[in-house]
Structures are given as C-alpha cells and as structure tokens.
C-alpha cells in the first residue's frame, strides 16, 4: 500500500435531524487504494461517500491531496446509488456521460465534437453506445448504472467512488462491470460500496466497515470475529460468477481458515 494519502478524514460526524449517521470517523484513503465499503443497511455507507463528495453538512475535517485538485474541482468520479438519481430529468444517455466533463458545466458552455466522441467511446466501452440518444427514463436500471459509470470515469479521475454500482445490472453484465472496475483500479484509487462481502472480497485489497463508526481493515478477508469487533453485522450473499483468484492465492497468514465466502465454483 502506498503511503500517499489522497483523502484524509478527521473526527467526522454527520447527523440528519437528530439521528447521528456517522460518529467521529477517522480514515485515510491512499492513492493506490482499491477498497470495499461494507455495512448493514442504514449503517451510513452512502453518508460517508456523500460527505467525501462535499454534499453534506458535517463536523470534522475532510482534506484532499494536491494531486486531487484540478482548478476549482476535484478529480473524483462519483457514481451515486441509482435510487438517489432523479430519472425524471429529460436528458439522454449520451448527456449523462457528457455531464461527467465537469469543466464543461454551465449552460453557456457547449460540448465540443471531441467531447461527444469521447462520450460515445466511453458508452461503447460499457456496451451501451446504441442507447446514446435514449432518454434516461426509458432505459433499464442496469443500463442507467452503466451510463452513470461512464459519467464517473469520463474525466479520468484520480479517485473513483461507486455506491452499490451493480444493484440493477443483470448477472451477465455484472461480471463485465467488475472486470472494467478492476482494470480501472490500475489507474486510479477506487472506493466501492457494496452490501455483498463475497463480491467485494474477490476484487478489493482492503475493506472498510461502516456502521455509524468506521473501521479500516487492510486485507480483503474478514473473519466473523473481526466483523463482530467492527460492529458490522452484514448479510452474506453468494456469487458464482465472480473470479476468486485473490482468495485462491491467500496463504492464510494468521487468518482462520473459515472465510466468510459462500460461492459455487
């Protein structure tokens, strides 16, 4: 793990009305991170990533390394939970991807031909180039999630944050989706929220447990005991179509042989 911290979170607390969603969080994200965020429903996973994105009132400090700053914006790509995305907005799939070109925002700016070519290329990479002109209200949840990934990566961020990115993606594309995310992880730090430890473990290098408090675990394998210590009760799901190479090469250095993975080979 690199020692270069790109996001530093100190004494972060976030409350909604009278509910404290996050309490006194201290956490660092590194430039070569590939971390999974897990935790129970309502545990504060989305709150944590929204706080990083600067869209919530909070106590405490969140600071970013110089390498993440680009003019007045941050080189962070963010894919929200699809349920947080308003699909009544009358824009096309191509426009969703284009809207990730942050510096072009504002109605006086027009997208150039090369912006549009880049957006089409990105859609093509995610297998939805043929949907470019479709209004977002007329595509499936999974197709929208692919478009939202395009929007998140189109400006080549240094940090990519994904909030439950595959909830609506069909099984066939889910494998492809994770393959792309893994490829992206060679070029940028990735923080991915999932409620599914099985999937996360096979991909990521570290795990962050979030249940009002936050614990960082610098390995992709967690024991039941560790989950308990982290106050992180989660549901274990099974996934048969995800590669488990990371687990296959794990030599059990101090980790009990009972891993929390249920998958069919």
Interacting span for ligand ADP (CB under 6 A) from 24-32, 38-46, 126-134, 222-230: 38-46
Interacting span for ligand ADP (CB under 6 A) from 36-44, 98-106, 179-187, 252-260: 36-44
Q: Are the beta carbons of 48 and 25 closer than 8 angstroms?
A: yes
Nearer to ligand ADP (CB atom), residue 24 or residue 32: 24
Between CA 195 and CA 183 the distance in angstroms is 22
What track of x and - describes contact with ligand ADP for positions 1 through 30 (by CB under 6 A)? ---------------x--x-x---------
Between CA 218 and CA 216 the distance in angstroms is 6
Nearest approach in angstroms of CB 19 to ligand ADP is: 6
Nearer to ligand ADP (CB atom), residue 56 or residue 188: 56
Between CA 53 and CA 59 the distance in angstroms is 14
Nearer to ligand ADP (CB atom), residue 76 or residue 154: 76
Interacting span for Mg ion (CB under 5 A) from 45-53, 64-72, 147-155, 200-208: 45-53
3-class DSSP state for residue 81?
Answer: coil
Instruction: Indicate which of ligand ADP, Mg ion, none lies near residue 16 (CB less than 5 to 8 Å, by partner kind).
Output: ligand ADP
Nearer to Mg ion (CB atom), residue 46 or residue 211: 46
Instruction: Indicate which of Mg ion, ligand ADP, none lies near residue 142 (CB less than 5 to 8 Å, by partner kind).
Output: none
Kindly tell me the sign of the dihedral angle through the C-alpha atoms of 96, 101, 107, 112.
Answer: negative
Q: DSSP string covering 121-188, please?
A: HHHHHTT-GGGTTSBGGGS-HHHHHHHHHHHHHTT--SEEEEESTTTTS-HHHHHHHHHHHHHHTTTS
- Contact between 58 and ligand ADP by CB under 6 A: the answer reads no
Among 43, 46, 122, 160, binds Mg ion (CB under 5 A): 46
- Give the count of residues interacting with ligand ADP (CB under 6 A): 11
Instruction: Indicate which of ligand ADP, Mg ion, none lies near residue 243 (CB less than 5 to 8 Å, by partner kind).
Output: none
Neighbour tally for 177: CB within 10 Å: 21
Nearer to ligand ADP (CB atom), residue 128 or residue 210: 210
Q: Are the beta carbons of 214 and 46 closer than 8 angstroms?
A: no
Q: Are the beta carbons of 10 and 37 closer than 8 angstroms?
A: no
Between CA 166 and CA 141 the distance in angstroms is 9
Nearer to ligand ADP (CB atom), residue 160 or residue 232: 232
Among 36, 47, 98, 161, binds ligand ADP (CB under 6 A): 47
Between CA 8 and CA 62 the distance in angstroms is 6
Residues interacting with ligand ADP, by CB under 6 A?
Answer: 16, 19, 21, 39, 41-47
Residues interacting with Mg ion, by CB under 5 A?
Answer: 45-46
């Amino acid at each position: 793990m690199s020692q270069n911290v790109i996001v530093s979170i100190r004494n972060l607390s976030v409350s909604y009305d009278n509910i404290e969603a996050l309490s006194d969080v201290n956490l660092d994200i590194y430039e070569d991170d590939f971390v999974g965020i897990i935790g129970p429903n309502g545990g504060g996973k989305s709150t944590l990533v929204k706080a990083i994105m600067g869209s919530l009132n909070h106590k405490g400090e969140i600071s970013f390394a110089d390498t993440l700053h680009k003019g007045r914006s941050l080189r962070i790509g963010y894919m929200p939970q699809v349920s947080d995305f308003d699909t009544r907005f009358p824009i096309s799939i191509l426009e969703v991807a284009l809207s990730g070109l942050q510096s072009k925002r504002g109605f006086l700016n027009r997208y150039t031909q090369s912006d549009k070519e880049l957006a089409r290329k990105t859609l093509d990479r995610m297998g939805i180039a043929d949907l470019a002109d479709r209004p977002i209200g007329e595509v499936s949840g999974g197709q929208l999630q692919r478009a939202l990934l395009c929007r998140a990566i189109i400006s080549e961020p240094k940090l990519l944050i994904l909030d439950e990115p595959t909830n609506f993606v069909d099984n066939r594309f889910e494998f492809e989706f994770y393959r792309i995310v893994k490829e992206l992880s060679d070029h940028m730090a990735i923080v991915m929220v999932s409620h599914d430890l099985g999937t996360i473990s096979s991909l990521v290098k570290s795990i962050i447990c979030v249940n009002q408090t936050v614990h960082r675990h610098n390995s992709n394998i967690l024991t039941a005991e560790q989950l308990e210590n982290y106050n992180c009760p989660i549901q274990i799901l099974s996934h048969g179509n995800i590669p488990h190479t990371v687990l296959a090469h794990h030599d059990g250095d101090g980790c009990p042989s009972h891993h929390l993975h249920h998958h069919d080979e």
